[in-house]
């Protein structure tokens, strides 16, 4: 088995240094993982106090809450993606490509599968082992299809930028096909069914209403968007945005219905077919494109990590210090972690981007304490509220906690600014003030020279 030059280089250094750097391995380059690697690299890595390694199977990073905008075509992935290799070079950590498959807690080793470039059909890296002194697992979450027949074969997911881009290509192709064909539209043509009315499903439905109309305005005049295009939002529960306050749910549904999005609640999907979805009621919803955005679970491999404790959706159980329940050297953050919500008896922290951001910031301080042999402090989640973007039409949400000293409802332009500020906070954590400011200005100017939506 190839243990790579990472291990051999460490061994060589150890012969000349009585105190080799503490080895911090972070698995997963999402919002929490990349922020943590960047900030630890800037502090501990730059000063030689720790060797920080990020293991991630993708080559570039994109902020997951904006995947629906790639799918709709309102954001170009390549203007927002962060290259892991460049980021690691600029911020004094190491990026190693690959997917974690196993863990040896006794030997403190992370097992990483060979990396295969499927486009080229070749193996890029062999199976590797990375030793650690501290391990942080931040691999995020996936959609949960609950074993529903046909999902894997006929539905599209929005878990990665590549999947979002695939949906957008199929959307553009569907419009081009409908415009060019001589025959009448089939019942499912130009119909979209979005399964799951959480934040992703709701935001995608609103965004698609805008982008499909913009898309057909570029010369596809044989398509009547009001008559031919139909967007269905299907939710098994009694209301949309079930994890958020009811007022947000009511307001979002009212706006979606004004946009002629067909909202279906108490509608459980029993199968996805090539031409639509089947409901438990026996009804069939015709759809050329089906997006599965329902359910949340952590990756399956977490349940096989050398006995670490997980819950029913594969999240690693962690203590308030963010250490896993059975191993002080293994930490878990982000959507893949079940962390107690201190001050809320019996509740756990919800899987949100703001939680991952806070956990990363907390661990930066705690790693310094860990290196000094000091006890770790517990992490307390601060809920600053929730915001849902409904495309160019409005943003709704509530602000609460220490941010405003209370809990109040916001919508419209101010809410839109607050929603955009969440992404700016992520950019600031990765790039700092000047690079974030320059990047924002350049994207603003570039929008004046490109179509309003991506057309390919």
Per-residue pLDDT of 168-194, as tens digits, reads: 999 999 999 999 999 999 999 999 999
Give, in order, the Cα–Cα distances in Å from 233 to each of 204, 242, 258.
Answer: 9, 14, 14
DSSP secondary structure code for residue 47 in this structure: T
CATH architecture classification, 4-142+297-371: 3-Layer(bba) Sandwich (3.50)
C-alpha count within 13 angstroms, C-beta hemisphere, residue 29: 28
Q: What are the pLDDT digits (tens) for 90-112?
A: 999 999 999 999 999 999 999 99
Strands lying side by side in the sheet with 323-324: 94-97, 50-56, 22-27, 134-137, 327-332, 323-324
| Residues 116-167: tens digit of each pLDDT | 998 888 999 999 999 999 999 999 999 999 999 999 999 999 999 999 999 9
Q: Does 450 score more than 80 pLDDT?
A: no
Q: Give the percent of the chain with pLDDT over 90.
A: 70
Who's near 402: CB < 8 A, 6+ residues apart?
382, 384
pLDDT given for residue 37 in this prediction? 98
Determine the distance from the C-alpha atom of residue 323 to the mean position of all C-alpha atoms in its chain, rounded to a whole number.
22
User: How many angstroms separate the Cα of 57 from the Cα of each of 49, 60, 195, 360, 405?
Assistant: 26, 9, 27, 20, 41
Rounded CA gap, 411 and 416, in Å?
7
Q: Determine the average pLDDT of the residues in 56-80.
A: 88
| Higher pLDDT among residues 305 and 13, named by residue | 305
So what's the pLDDT on residue 269?
Answer: 97
Is pLDDT at 18 greater than 60 in this prediction? no
Q: Which residues are CB-neighbours of 21 under 8 A, at least 6 positions away? A: 48, 49, 50, 51
Question: Residue 192 is encoded by which pair of tokens?
Answer: 């979209």
Residues 265-304 have pLDDT tens digits of 999 999 999 999 999 999 999 999 999 999 899 999 999 9
Indicate if the pLDDT at residue 12 is higher than 60. Answer: no
Q: Is the pLDDT of residue 255 over 80?
A: yes
pLDDT for 449 equals: 54
431-440 mean pLDDT: 83
DSSP label at 43? I
Give the separation between CA 264 and CA 287, rounded to whole angstroms: 14
Domain(s) of CATH 3.50.50.60: residues in the chain: 4-142+297-371, 151-292
Q: How far apart are CA 225 and CA 215, in angstroms?
A: 10
Mean pLDDT calculated for residue range 44-63: 95
According to the model, what pLDDT value does residue 202 have?
Answer: 94
Q: How far apart are CA 86 and CA 89, in angstroms?
A: 5
| pLDDT(440) > 80 | no
What pLDDT score does 228 carry? 95
| Residue 456 predicted with pLDDT over 80 | no
**pLDDT at residue 437 greater than cutoff 90:** no
Fold of 151-292: FAD/NAD(P)-binding domain (3.50.50)
Sign of torsion over alpha carbons 179, 182, 184, 188: negative
- Mean pLDDT, the chain, as a whole number? 89
**High-pLDDT (> 70) share of the chain, %:** 89
């Amino acid at each position: 088995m190839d243990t790579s030059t990472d291990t051999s280089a460490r061994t060589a250094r150890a012969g000349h240094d009585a105190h080799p750097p503490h080895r911090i391995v972070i698995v997963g380059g999402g919002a929490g993982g990349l922020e943590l690697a960047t900030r630890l690299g800037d502090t501990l890595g730059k000063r030689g106090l720790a060797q920080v390694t990020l293991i991630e199977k993708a080559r570039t990073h994109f902020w997951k809450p904006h995947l629906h905008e790639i799918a709709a075509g309102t954001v170009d992935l390549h203007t927002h993606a962060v290259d892991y290799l460049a980021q690691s070079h600029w911020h004094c950590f190491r990026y190693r490509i690959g997917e974690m498959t196993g863990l040896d807690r006794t030997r403190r080793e992370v097992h990483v599968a060979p990396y295969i470039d499927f486009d080229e059909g070749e193996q890029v890296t062999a199976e590797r082992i990375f030793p650690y002194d501290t391990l942080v697992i931040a691999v995020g979450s996936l959609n949960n299809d609950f074993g529903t027949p046909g999902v894997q074969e006929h539905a599209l997911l929005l878990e990665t930028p590549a999947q979002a881009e695939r949906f957008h290509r199929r959307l553009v192709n569907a419009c081009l096909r409908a415009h060019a064909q001589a025959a009448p539209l089939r019942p499912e043509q130009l119909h979209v069914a979005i399964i799951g009315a959480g934040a992703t499903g709701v935001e995608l439905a609103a965004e698609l209403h805008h982008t499909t109309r913009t898309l057909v305005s570029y010369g596809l005049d044989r398509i009547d968007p009001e008559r031919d295009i139909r967007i269905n939002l299907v939710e098994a529960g009694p209301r949309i945005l079930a994890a958020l306050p009811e007022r947000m749910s009511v307001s979002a549904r009212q706006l979606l219905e004004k946009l002629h999005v067909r909202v279906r609640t108490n509608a459980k999907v029993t199968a996805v077919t090539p031409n639509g979805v089947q409901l438990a009621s026996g009804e069939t919803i015709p759809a050329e494109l089906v997006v599965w955005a329902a359910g949340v679970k952590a990756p399956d491999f977490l349940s096989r990590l050398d006995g670490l404790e997980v819950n029913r959706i594969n999240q690693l159980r962690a203590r308030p210090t963010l250490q896993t329940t059975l191993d002080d050297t293994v930490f878990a953050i982000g959507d893949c972690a079940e962390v107690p919500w201190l001050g809320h008896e019996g509740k756990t922290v919800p899987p949100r981007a703001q939680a991952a951001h806070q956990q990363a910031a907390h661990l930066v301080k705690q790693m310094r304490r860990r290196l000094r042999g000091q006890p770790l402090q517990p992490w307390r989640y601060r809920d600053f509220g929730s915001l849902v973007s409904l495309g160019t039409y409005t943003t709704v949400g509530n602000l609460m906690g220490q941010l405003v000293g209370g809990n109040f409802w916001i919508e419209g332009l101010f809410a839109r600014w607050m929603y955009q500020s969440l992404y700016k906070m992520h950019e600031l954590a990765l790039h700092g003030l000047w690079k974030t400011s320059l990047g924002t200005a350049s994207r603003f100017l570039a929008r004046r020279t490109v179509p309003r939506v991506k057309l390919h």
